[in-house]
Every structure is written in C-alpha cells, then in structure tokens.
Amino acid sequence: MLAEEGLIRENPGADTDSSDRAGRPATELALNEGHYFSAAMYVSIEGVSAYLQDVSGKVHRSLNQPWQVSFKQGNLFSPSVFSAKLQALVGSLCAGHDIEVNVLKSVCIATQGKIAQHTGIIYQSQLLDEQNVPLASMLKNALGVPVHLYNIAWCSTFCFNVFNQFEDSYIALLLGYGLGTGICIDGRLIAGPDGLAPEVSHLTYDKHGPVCYCGARGCAEQYVTYNAIFGQAEQAGITLEGATPVEKLHHISELLNVGNPAMLAIINQAGDVLGHIAVQLMAMLDVRHIYLNGETAILHEYLGAAIKEALERHGSTQAIASRLSITYEPDTDVATRGLLELTNRSFLV
C-alpha cells in the first residue's frame, strides 16, 4: 500500500545479507522524497526560523523572520498578533513550494517559556503580553491542521537521546538567548503535568537581583543568557567586539583567556548560577553528567569549573561533584535538529 502511494521504494542495489533466513530475500526499503509534508518553526525572542519538510526528512524550503522582542522595552506580542505572524509564515512556506496549507500533516512549534506540551498552552513566555495562551488550538483552528507545541530545551535534549550515545541519566543545559533545561533519567526524558518541560530558569538566585519578565527578582535567567552577560560587560566598561552574539562570545572567550578580571567575575557568577541550579536538581536525582550546549556554552571551561565549585560548597552535593562529568556540545543546532525529528514523528503514516 505504501509503495502504491509512492511513499516508499525498494532499493535492490543495497547490500543485504539474508543468507541465514528462508523465503524472499531481504530487500532494503527507502522513503521517497516529496510526500507527507509538515512545517516546523523555531520561535525565539530574536525571530522565527521556519522549515517545510517531507516524511523523508528532506527540508524543501526555509524562511527566517527576525524581530526584536524585549520585556524591558515593553514590545511584546499579543496572542492574536503572534498567531497571525506564525500563520503567515506557514502560508508562505506552502506557497513557495506550490502546496496548500491543508495538505500538511502537522505544524510543530518550538519556543521558550513555560510550555504545556500535551495541551499546547503557553503558561508564560517572554514573547507574549498575556499568560495561559492556548497557541496550539488557536493555530489549529486557523490553519485546519494538527499543531504541536514544544519547549526548545525539550527539543535539544530529545536530539541528544535520539542521535547520541550519552549516559542513561544526565542534565542538559541549553545556554543562549535563554536558559533551558532538559533532564533524562534512565534513558527517559522527564516532563511534568501536561508535558511541562523542566523550567528552572526562574529559580531565584538573588532575591535582590534584577527584575525578570516573570515579575520576580534575581531569576537565574537574568545572569546566564548572552544578552545578560553582554549587559553586565557593558556596565563594567567592557566594549565587546563583533556584530553577532557568537562574535561577541568569541571576544569574551579571548578576554577570559588573558585573565580580564571584570570578565572573569561576570562569567564566574554565571557559572555559579548554573551551579545553583545543578545543586537543586542533583541533590534529588542521581545524575552524574551535565551537557552544556547552545551559543554561550563556548565558555564551557570557565562555566564548568564554577558549576563544580558550587556543588562542592553544598554538603548534599559534595560527593556528586567529585564524580561529575561536564561535557561541551559544540553543535549549536541541536534544538533545531530535535524539532525537525519531533515534527517528523508527530503524525502517523
């Protein structure tokens, strides 16, 4: 049936060893391109990257729409405007490949914030001016196709599980424009009620610290995002070279390597914040490995050392610190690859 639909084909030239079996010789099957399309969108405070892919995993079209969203500047999206922007991007993806939106098997969105992945509700996001936004149902009603919502850090950790041979239990910290956390215990990703991914970015590090978009003060995210680090560097009188966050982070790495005291203090504090998070998690879970990924993880040598120091200061995690491994994942597209794989698994053939 799948062959008649044109979805699969036999690959008679493949090297298949069927000498130990009776009956029809083994034949390799391959997915044909150009069937069963789905759309994936990676949505952040910096913009959207949208992809049109088929069931074989081939990306046929991609679009990028940058924007600048800032809680401090008060230019957040209303749910209706946000939904309309995403609808327009899906329409553009499909129109550019000459297909109708209603033929899509699914639309999958990865975004930041407190995401109920099972119900498609954004409880809180630094993109939106409202809470408890049922984004998945809004888009499903507008587009007429199934819509799935994921936390970006969940996509990243999912990718680790699928494509890498990591330990059974670990914590993955996604460090970039936000702070994302994924937890894997005995090979299974951990989620809370309604599919809530672990949201530890709002653990209080300093109750007198800077105001967070969630309304609290001193949340961990206010110290470890690259924008937070850039802002602290500016306050310390450091002019960072580079036009992009990655270029600025490379300059920070250079400053750290020559022992710039102000920059060392900023990054040591960011590492201490990550250690504060690790203490909360590792005191409860028998996890002995942390993976640092995302753009800011380029500073892993300094961040990792500060994390271990923070664990060594607490009696409940001192023993863990001595056997803890911290690994740097240099691929900054881990979350996108996870999203594309989740999108391809979001519907049944």
**pLDDT tens for each residue of 125-145:** 889 999 999 999 999 999 999
**pLDDT tens for each residue of 222-275:** 999 999 999 999 999 999 999 999 999 999 999 999 999 999 999 999 999 998
Q: Where are the alpha helices (DSSP H) in the chain?
A: 79-96, 135-143, 152-163, 221-224, 226-235, 245-257, 261-282, 300-313, 318-323, 334-344
Q: Which tokens hold the place of 269?
A: 């504090």
Q: Determine the pLDDT at residue 300.
A: 95
Beta-sheet pairing, 147-151 with 8-11:
unpaired
> 261-282 and 300-313 helices cross at what angle (nearest 10)?
50
**pLDDT tens for each residue of 94-104:** 999 999 999 99
Q: Determine the pLDDT at residue 280.
A: 79
CB 280 within 8 A of CB 206: no
The number of beta carbons lying within 10 Å of the beta carbon of residue 234 is 11
CATH 3.30.420.40 fits 38-154+335-344, yes or no: yes
Distance of alpha carbon 93 from alpha carbon 99, whole angstroms: 9
Q: Is 207 exposed, middle or buried (0-12, 13-18, 19+ CB in 10 A)?
A: exposed
- Sequence-ordered list of residues with C-beta below 8 angstroms from that of 72, at least 6 positions apart, any chain: none
Domain residue extents for the chain: 38-154+335-344, 166-331
- Asked if residue 335 has pLDDT above 90, the reply is yes
Facing residues of 183 across strands?
171
- Superfamily of domain 166-331 in CATH is ATPase, nucleotide binding domain (3.30.420.40)
Nearest to 93 by CA among 162, 148, 37: 37
Give the pLDDT mean for 109-134: 93
Distance of CA 332 to the CA centre of its chain: 10
Beta-sheet pairing, 170-175 with 179-185:
antiparallel
**pLDDT tens for each residue of 246-260:** 999 999 999 999 999
**pLDDT tens for each residue of 283-329:** 777 788 899 999 999 999 999 999 989 888 877 777 777 778 899 99
Q: Determine the pLDDT at residue 259.
A: 95
Report in angstroms the alpha-carbon separations of 11 from 19, 28, 34, 36, 121: 18, 5, 17, 20, 43
Q: Do domains 38-154+335-344 and 166-331 have the same CATH topology?
A: yes
The SS3 call for residue 308 is: helix
Structure confidence at residue 200 as a pLDDT band (50, 70, 90): confident
Average pLDDT, the chain: 89
Distance of alpha carbon 215 from alpha carbon 84, whole angstroms: 27
CB 146 within 8 A of CB 106: yes
Distance of CA 90 to the CA centre of its chain: 20
Choice between 202 and 81, residue whose per-residue pLDDT is larger: 81
Q: Determine the pLDDT at residue 1.
A: 87
Residues 11-46, buried b or exposed e (16+ Cβ, 10 A)? eeeeeeeeeeeeeeeeeeeebbeebbbbbbbbbbbe
